[in-house]
Structure 1
Amino acid sequence: MALEMRTRCEKCGIAELTADGPAWICSYECSFCENCSRTMDYNCPNCGGELVARPRRLK
């Protein structure tokens, strides 16, 4: 099963999350931009889990 590479930040909805760019995810694959993740102190607002750097996928 592959990691779902979501393309928009779930908090601000504005930030574009590219497969090869920075993004933060929780264990449920909720995805956030770097700025929102920092603002939320790296805690997922949906499940309360830790946000970690999402692995980058090179084309």
Structure 2
Amino acid sequence: MLELRPNCECCDRDLLPESREAKICTFECTFCVDCAGNVLGGVCPNCSGDLVQRPIRPAAMLAKYPASTKRILKAEGCAPVRAA
């Protein structure tokens, strides 16, 4: 089950569980749409995977399986992934 992390790892913007502004990779690294598109070019800086829209958990399931409250923030900030 997805953690539904509460913030963007780059800019620390709040991302509520129902937000359509959250992007994730297959490891659930979480970024806002602005950082994902404008800073990272749609590529996760941690694993180089694609960043896609995070799904919305229905309210009834969110009550039963709440979102994470643990904030993850890249201390060094975010930089675009460089092609090898």
TM-score of the superposition, structure 2-length normalised? 0.64
Alignment match, 2:15: 17
Name whichever structure is richer in helix by fraction.
2
The correspondence of residues 39-50 of structure 1 with structure 2, limited to 5 A, is: 39=38, 40-50=40-50
Deviations 1:7-37 (A, max 9, x none): 0100111x11111112100000000001001
Q: Higher RCO, 1 or 2 (CA under 8 Å, sep at least 6)?
A: 2
The answer to whether the 8 Å contact 1:19/1:58 transfers is: no
Structure whose CA Rg is larger = 2
Following TM superposition, where does structure 1 have runs of at least 4 consecutive aligned residues deviating by more than 4 angstroms?
Answer: none
Aligned residue pairs: how many? 57
Partner of 1:3: 2
TM-score by length of 1: 0.89
Gaps of 5+ in 1: none
Query: Is the counterpart of residue 53 in structure 1 residue 43 in structure 2?
Result: no
Percent identity of paired positions between Structure 1 and Structure 2: 44
* Root-mean-square deviation over aligned CA pairs: 0.8
Distance apart, 1:57 and its partner CA = 1.7
